[in-house]
Amino acid sequence: MLTPATGQSLAGLGAINGVVKDASGAVIPGAKVLVANPEKGIRREMETNQAGIFSAPSLTPGRGYEVTVDRAGFAQYSAKQIEVLVGSNVTLNIEMGVQAQSQAVTVNESTPLVETTKTGVSQVVEAAQITNLPINGRRVDTFVLLTPGVTNDGTFGLVTFRGIPGGNAFLTDGNDTTQGYYNEGAGRTRISSNISQDAVQEFQVQSSGMTAEFGRAVGGSVNTVTRSGTNTTHGTAYWFFRNHSLNARDRYATRNPKESRHQFGGSVGGALKKDELFYFLNAEWTRRDFPAISTVQNPQLFDASGNFIGTCGAPANATQCQNAVNYFKRFFGEVPRTADQDAYFGKLDWRPSERNSFSASFNLMNWISPNGIQTQATLTGGAAIGNNGDSTVRHRFARFAHTGIINPATVNEFRFGWFKDRLYESVNPALAPPNGLQGQLTVQGQGNLGVATFLPRVQPTEDRFQIADNLTWLKGAHNIKFGFDFAHTRDTVELLANGRGSYTYPTFTAFALDLTNLDGGKRWQNYSQTFGDPKITIFVRDWNFFAQDQWRVNSKLTLNYGIRYEYAQFAQPKLFNPDYPQTARINQPKLNFAPRAGMAYTFGSSGKTVLRASYGIFYARMPGALVGNIHQSNGVYQKSITYQSSVPDQLAAGPVFPAFLPSTNLNPPAGTVSIGFPNVALRTPYTQQWDIGIERELTRSTGITISYLGSRGDNFFMNRDLNIGPAAGAYTYRILDTAGAEIGTYTTPGYLRANRVDPRYNRVNELGNFGKMWYDGMVVQVRQRATKYLQGTLAYTWSHARDYNAGGGNSNLFIVSGSPRTVSNGAFAAEKATSELDQRHRLVVTGLVEMPNVKSDNAFVKYAVNGWNLSMIGTFSSAFYWSPTIRVNSNFSGSAFTNTLNGFGGSFRVPFLSRTSLPVEGVARLDARLSKALRFTERYQLSLNFEAFNVFNNVSNTGIITEGFQATTGVIRQVAGMGRGSASQGFPDGTNARRAQVSARFVF
């Protein structure tokens, strides 16, 4: 089940606390309390303080905890079968009877349904859910999408909290395992998983109201807890199998390619020394063969069957046109692709005494995938060949932790972490163009026709060392916690992006002429290339301090409040551009204070209804990719040039297709080099988050929560061009429909090349804090705790996210050198509209049904009829919205850039239509698992499973054609196809068409 976590969360651990009172409601100080878990060898002894409160923090998450309370003159109280979840603070309200009148009181299953001290919005995905719900690819972090306020950020496995692109934190046992370069999970999303499903016990998802202990996240936080050994030896062996015979064809595939996937492994855990030394080991392997289907579905060039329907004619002859058509034929077909992954995990827990416990773990993952950079099942834009290559990922993670009980009221936790990620990608010669082209190519708006501009690359090799320490102190009604966290992250990148150049052709005819190249002409519209040093090493040092308090004002009211301070040091540029001193420094803000506050109020004496609210400020992590982009964009470390054929000296300096310029060409014509740098007072992006909600226990096992979530994002990164000069004049375009009839006009001021402030440069981008975001959401959660036959959850979110064209998580990493995302320079507020990450409605339902057993001595009944269970996840959501775009082949004489109507060269959206006005498509899908358990003895069991993902094959579009217009010198023409579907991708299969698998799992 999904279980809410409490306000005073613990990174990777949990806690049990309570208040001990007599029958009259008076608190009982000096009562002896024992908190124990016999299977884990945990034993904590303490006494209630003057407020009658006891607290056992920093407990290893798990089941089987027991609490025993003794006090002279009172009957003993004992609570058993308590479950402590990651980040939870299990609160017990204990009433002790007089010994002369009462026998000892024993309570089972005493974990409260309603958390009376919880102030934020967070949930825990438990071990039973991870094991029993249908899971595609055994990647447990996909269960994050069961949480309200969370949805997909694109189709490659990223998630967004409250409509914020990226900005999430990923922890493992409390340590930071976020890949800081891209600000994603370790290994990124291309791999099967950075840790085996069987090595994960549970994980906590915090979407709002995080306490001061948590930071470096403007979005949400995902904290994974790994499994540990116990006094009883347990283990598993498993095999998951899939092939194409169980798969439905992708909507945009011409056929269903042969595919197979084997995932197999095992785990074992137990005690090397009872009650003291425990171990857990896991190994898992994945072997996958999944060919990609490559097509080019461009309504201006090819039909769905791959027939050329474009225009090619004079001055190109028939042979030249046919040669150009033949060049495209290699993009239609099947591309071989495989993926192999090996993952290993080990953990030791040592408890030499009641006052000290130590934990050490190590995780290793290797991934290699020829032609596996692109993971989609069907690629309709040529990327399976023209933007693909071989992928290799190496991930390592080690952790050491010590928990020390200084005295019953004071606990110290120390953690050390080491993290390493290495991503290497290379060109596969089998995918290289036949004409010797080594760079990228775009023809009449169709890209991905050459070689990926980012290959070869190591991006990045990342190392992180982390030290954290915190102290928890129980003082009266206050549970005080304070500590620090230091992390040093180093990224080394070897990449010269676009080092072999990129050609852009306005028409198919122009490309046909240059492909044959009988006269050495240059018919390209634009040519760009980068020169310089491909290798760079940068670092980010994070210094974080926090203090927080959970104050039980009385039996009904709990307050959580605290403050966090974050300071980040960045590697400063070693080279700078003397023309622009701003390129010499990256500002390091020193006033990032983040207050946090929350309250929980319990109505009545039953504890069945709780009102909670929270507010906090949360600062973003500075991605290593952005720091590196600042270093490389100064026009000295690397030099990026753009030539436009409309400028004679630039056309003359450009190459003849398919060549690229030699690296010795470091003196290009004036006005062709672009640079970028941060604002001298660059600040850290942050969000203000608040929520208010009420939770009610409907029955002993059913609860409902209704909440409002809100956030406002400020100081987010966007760029503007300091060199473009002011717009001037008025340029009018006639607008024609698809039949050629005039339906209107559009007039815009224009940006002229002659008005550039500094004619030595092309763009001079300034990275600033110009972005803003807004989010409002209403959440309804229903939770059915496990009963004899049923458990499940329901999470419905209505929300509205707006921004200044922030894009998705990957849109904000290399924006220093990128083109501005506004139609006009600096007009950020004009871009305010519904976010691309806005999903107005989202409903997720989970359920696990255990079939009743039939009592019988008949062996057939025992093994064939009994032991069945059915689980499912239903996801129903409204559509995301994209923006209509326009492709400009030429605009007006003297324009600064020829690819937009106003000559600014910024956003390609249609300026006279609303942003984010094209619906992609909603989702309605059901994933299901049918399991049969064969129990041989009490210790040995075999489960046979059949799983189907998108059972009814209700395929939905995840991409559409956004191009609705084309423009050429004074005329805008509507083109057919805008809004038509172009992709039905899905994570982790590369498609959302139905997939199914069988598996066997042996447990002892």
Q: Which amino acid is at 283?
A: A
pLDDT tens-digit series, residues 930-979: 999 998 888 999 999 999 999 999 999 999 999 999 999 999 999 999 99
Report which of residues 275 and 854 the model is more confident about. 275
Report which of residues 816 and 520 the model is more confident about. 816
- Backbone φ and ψ of 101, nearest 5°: -105, -15
Q: What is the predicted pLDDT for the residue at 106?
A: 63
Band of residue 518 on the pLDDT scale cut at 50, 70, 90: confident
Alpha carbons 289 and 301: distance in angstroms, whole number: 31
pLDDT-wise least confident of 19-33, 770-784, 919-933: 19-33
Q: What is the predicted pLDDT for the residue at 268?
A: 98
Q: By C-alpha distance, which of 658, 775, 767 is closest to 717? A: 767
Strand ranges of the sheet holding 963-968, from the earlier edge strand across to the other edge = 742-750, 728-736, 971-974, 963-968, 885-890
Cβ proximity of 809 and 154 under 8 Å: yes
Torsional sign, CA 130, 132, 133, 134: positive
Alpha carbons 790 and 872: distance in angstroms, whole number: 12
Alpha carbons 901 and 895: distance in angstroms, whole number: 9
Band of residue 7 on the pLDDT scale cut at 50, 70, 90: very low
Cβ proximity of 399 and 360 under 8 Å: yes
Is the pLDDT at 345 greater than 60? The verdict is yes
Q: For residue 271, what are the β-bridge partners?
A: 278
Q: What is the predicted pLDDT for the residue at 519?
A: 85
User: Domains in the chain, ordered, with CATH?
Assistant: 2-114 (2.60.40.1120), 142-1003 (2.40.170.20)
Band of residue 175 on the pLDDT scale cut at 50, 70, 90: very high
Q: What is the predicted pLDDT for the residue at 101?
A: 53
Alpha carbons 180 and 461: distance in angstroms, whole number: 11
Q: What is the predicted pLDDT for the residue at 537?
A: 98
Is the pLDDT at 5 greater than 70? The verdict is no
| Residue count of the chain | 1004
Q: By C-alpha distance, which of 336, 349, 331, 326 is closest to 295? A: 331
Is the pLDDT at 690 greater than 90? The verdict is yes
Provide the token pair at 481: 């916690």
pLDDT tens-digit series, residues 569-619: 999 999 999 999 999 999 999 999 999 999 999 998 888 999 999 999 999
830: left (phi over 0), alpha (psi -120 to 50) or beta: alpha
pLDDT tens-digit series, residues 469-504: 999 999 999 999 999 999 999 999 999 999 999 999
List C-alpha distances in Å: 741 to 692, 745, 972, 974: 55, 12, 11, 10
Average pLDDT, whole number, for the chain? 93
Q: By C-alpha distance, which of 125, 117, 122 is closest to 208? A: 122
Q: Over range 288-304, report the average pLDDT.
A: 91
Q: Over range 903-910, report the average pLDDT.
A: 97
Alpha carbons 290 and 707: distance in angstroms, whole number: 43
Is the pLDDT at 9 greater than 60? The verdict is no
Q: What is the predicted pLDDT for the residue at 1?
A: 38
Alpha carbons 106 and 79: distance in angstroms, whole number: 6
Q: Which amino acid is at 710?
A: G
Q: What is the predicted pLDDT for the residue at 107?
A: 61
Cβ proximity of 892 and 750 under 8 Å: yes
- Percentage with pLDDT > 90 across the chain: 83
**3-state SS, one letter per residue, for 84-135:** ECCCCEEEEEEEECECCCCCCEEECCCCCCCCCCCCCEEEEECHHHHHHCCC
Q: Which amino acid is at 967?
A: A
Band of residue 359 on the pLDDT scale cut at 50, 70, 90: very high
Q: What is the predicted pLDDT for the residue at 110?
A: 57
Alpha carbons 71 and 459: distance in angstroms, whole number: 62
Alpha carbons 678 and 697: distance in angstroms, whole number: 52
**Residue 30: other Cβ atoms inside 10 A:** 12
Give the three-class secondary structure for 141: helix
- What pTM, to 2 d.p., does this model score? 0.92
Q: Over range 180-198, report the average pLDDT.
A: 95
Q: Which amino acid is at 199?
A: A
Cβ proximity of 446 and 301 under 8 Å: yes
Q: What is the predicted pLDDT for the residue at 4?
A: 35
Is the pLDDT at 112 greater than 80? The verdict is no
- Backbone φ and ψ of 10, nearest 5°: -125, 130
List C-alpha distances in Å: 719 to 309, 681, 753, 774, 815: 39, 14, 19, 19, 7
Report which of residues 943 and 86 the model is more confident about. 943
Q: Which amino acid is at 706?
A: I
**Range list of H helices, 775-900:** 859-860
pLDDT tens-digit series, residues 225-252: 999 999 999 999 999 999 999 899 999 9
pLDDT-wise least confident of 11-25, 333-347, 670-684: 11-25
Is the pLDDT at 100 greater than 80? The verdict is no
Band of residue 863 on the pLDDT scale cut at 50, 70, 90: confident
- Percentage with pLDDT > 70 across the chain: 98
Is the pLDDT at 195 greater than 70? The verdict is yes
Q: By C-alpha distance, which of 349, 470, 476 is closest to 406? A: 470
Band of residue 811 on the pLDDT scale cut at 50, 70, 90: confident
